[in-house]
Amino acid sequence: MTPPLKTLVIGAGICGLSSAIWLRRAGHDVMLIDKDGPGAGASYGNAGLLAQWAMIPVNTPGIARTGLKYMLDPNEPLFMQWRYFPKLVPWLLKFMSNATDKGVRATVDGLMPLIADSVSQHEALTRGTAAAKWITNSDITYAYANRKAFDKDSYGWNLRRELGYIPELVEGPAVQEAEPMAGPNIQCLATLKGHGHILNPGAYCDALAQVLQEEGGTICQATVQDFDIRDGKVKAVITDRGTLPCDHAVVSAGIWSKELMTKLGLKVVMEAERGYHLHLKNPSQMPRNPMMLVKGKFGVNPMSSGLRCAGTVELGDHNAPLSNAPLELIRKNIKWAFPDLKYDEAEEWMGFRPSTPDSLPLVGEIGGTGVFAAFGHQHIGLTAGPKTGRWVADLITGKRPNVDLSPYDANRFG
């Protein structure tokens, strides 16, 4: 009997955990390696939304004008670390060149197969395991100051409508009836029915790590530094704790994947969209279902351990420390939207959305090396992690997933 193939998965965020579990179920000898432990990166602190409706990228037509205006106004939810700007230019130019109707539609076409059935994919990943309890069904409500603000978002809503995502609108005094937590500054709600969220993303990652180990996979805390490639094929992964032989490797290290790709000679165009959360402990109010507070561009999600307000974008260096301005703006917008809300304390957190200029992840083999990419999921990594893991496991097992994977080509940056 031939021994099972040894596959090393680098990075234990949602993409790595999902890949490792599906690979294990496909019969591989799987080790999941993380420098800090499961759920240490963006997968810990995100807004927890299974965002099946988030197929519209940030760079829609007109972003150049609104983006610049936002960056110069501290009351708008887009921040720039100007000292990092020169390094950001190559990414920014490509990002802007995709801000056309054609570019957006290409991204939407690429994202739909990845995210549209996210809740089912999470359910399939966790069925019969203790991790299933962290997934719940819910609607998502976009909260706007008024109808005019909703109409300003018509480009995205029209595209969603074309795909069958029709919002139910509530306006005026009926808003507070529909969502008692909303204060008078919220005068328009747009709700999409039938989606889902995660009740505690950090605990969910821990539970998935447990599932992997119960099903026979192992977890190792180490920092991956390089790959041993011979005759064009990966033979081992080199870590600060020694060299680990393998038949295949999966790179699912979020924003840090970019550095690992340079070891394979690839210059992936990917930057961190730094995002923030305030996690409110013992809140006096909870929304009926998760919301997107459009003015502040953050999610407001009722979780098992409090109310999570997570979002905003700060373009900058993923090695630089947390900035206060985005957190202060989230605080201000919470007061603006929910004037009666009280809470004990707020956990402050920053994480990195790994974002490519075409808003599509890299999924697939790097050349013929036996190293597979599973990273670059920008704002929708929690949503898309389980599907990505399934595709990666299929590819490594030699099964062709029943979907066109060319939009996610891992070699598309040359």
Tell me, what DSSP letter sits at residue 132? G
Taking CB under 6 A as the binding criterion, the range among 174-182, 281-289, 362-370, 376-384 that sits at the site for ligand FAD is 376-384
Query: Please, are residues 188 and 150 in contact by the beta-carbon 8 Å criterion?
Result: yes
Taking CB under 6 A as the binding criterion, the range among 153-161, 173-181, 254-262, 281-289 that sits at the site for ligand FAD is 254-262
Taking CB under 6 A as the binding criterion, the range among 37-45, 104-112, 262-270, 402-410 that sits at the site for ligand FAD is 37-45
Local structure of 1: helix, strand or coil? coil
DSSP letters along 238-273, please?
Answer: EETTEEEE-SEEEE--GGGHHHHHHTTT-----EEE
**DSSP E strands, 155-209:** 168-171, 188-198
Q: Could you give the string, one character per residue 270-289, with x where binding to ligand FAD holds by CB under 6 A and - elsewhere?
A: -----xxx------------
Q: Could you give the string, one character per residue 311-330, with x where binding to ligand FAD holds by CB under 6 A and - elsewhere?
A: x-------------------
Under rule CB under 6 A, residue 41 binds ligand FAD: yes
CA 318 to chain centre: 15
Report the nearest approach of ligand FAD to the CB of residue 253 (Å): 4
The Cα angle at residue 205 between residues 255 and 118, in degrees rounded to 5: 80
- Single residue of 377, 387, 390, 395 touching ligand FAD by CB under 6 A: 377
- Single residue of 7, 8, 9, 15 touching ligand FAD by CB under 6 A: 15
Report the nearest approach of ligand FAD to the CB of residue 90 (Å): 21
User: Residues with Cβ < 8 Å from 310, sequence gap 6 or more?
Assistant: 45, 46, 47, 48, 275, 276, 277, 278, 279, 298, 299, 301, 349
User: Residues with Cβ < 8 Å from 352, sequence gap 6 or more?
Assistant: 41, 42, 254, 255, 272, 273, 274, 275, 318
DSSP letters along 297-314, please?
Answer: TEEEEEETTEEEEEEEEE
Query: Please, are residues 297 and 312 in contact by the beta-carbon 8 Å criterion?
Result: yes
48-77 binders of ligand FAD (CB under 6 A): 48-49, 51
Cβ-based neighbour number of residue 234 at 10 Å: 21
> β-strands 306-316, 78-80: how paired?
parallel
Under rule CB under 6 A, residue 370 binds ligand FAD: no
- Single residue of 375, 387, 391, 410 touching ligand FAD by CB under 6 A: 375
C-alpha–C-alpha distance, residues 408 and 405, integer Å = 6
Under rule CB under 6 A, residue 356 binds ligand FAD: no
Report the nearest approach of ligand FAD to the CB of residue 237 (Å): 9
Tell me, what DSSP letter sits at residue 15? H
Under rule CB under 6 A, residue 249 binds ligand FAD: no
Report the nearest approach of ligand FAD to the CB of residue 231 (Å): 24
The residue (of 60 and 388) whose beta carbon lies closer to ligand FAD is 388
Closest chain position to ligand FAD (CB): 381
The residue (of 189 and 219) whose beta carbon lies closer to ligand FAD is 219
379-398 binders of ligand FAD (CB under 6 A): 379-383
Report the nearest approach of ligand FAD to the CB of residue 248 (Å): 16
The residue (of 187 and 334) whose beta carbon lies closer to ligand FAD is 334
The residue (of 103 and 290) whose beta carbon lies closer to ligand FAD is 290
Helix 381-397 vs helix 101-115: angle between axes, to the nearest 10 degrees?
70
Q: Which amino acid is at 260?
A: L
Closest CA to 147 of 205, 104, 188: 188
Residue pointed to by tokens 């809140």: 283
Taking CB under 6 A as the binding criterion, the range among 57-65, 87-95, 144-152, 252-260 that sits at the site for ligand FAD is 252-260
Report the nearest approach of ligand FAD to the CB of residue 368 (Å): 23
293-312 binders of ligand FAD (CB under 6 A): 299, 310-311
C-alpha–C-alpha distance, residues 142 and 179, integer Å = 11
The residue (of 131 and 310) whose beta carbon lies closer to ligand FAD is 310
Report the nearest approach of ligand FAD to the CB of residue 236 (Å): 14
Query: Please, are residues 61 and 248 in contact by the beta-carbon 8 Å criterion?
Result: no
The residue (of 25 and 318) whose beta carbon lies closer to ligand FAD is 318
Query: Please, are residues 60 and 156 in contact by the beta-carbon 8 Å criterion?
Result: yes
Retrieve residue 51's tokens.
Answer: 């965002």
Query: Please, are residues 384 and 407 in contact by the beta-carbon 8 Å criterion?
Result: no
Under rule CB under 6 A, residue 407 binds ligand FAD: no
Residues that bind ligand FAD (CB under 6 A): 10-16, 33-36, 40-43, 46-49, 51, 223-224, 252-254, 256, 260, 275-277, 299, 310-311, 351, 353-354, 375, 377, 379-383
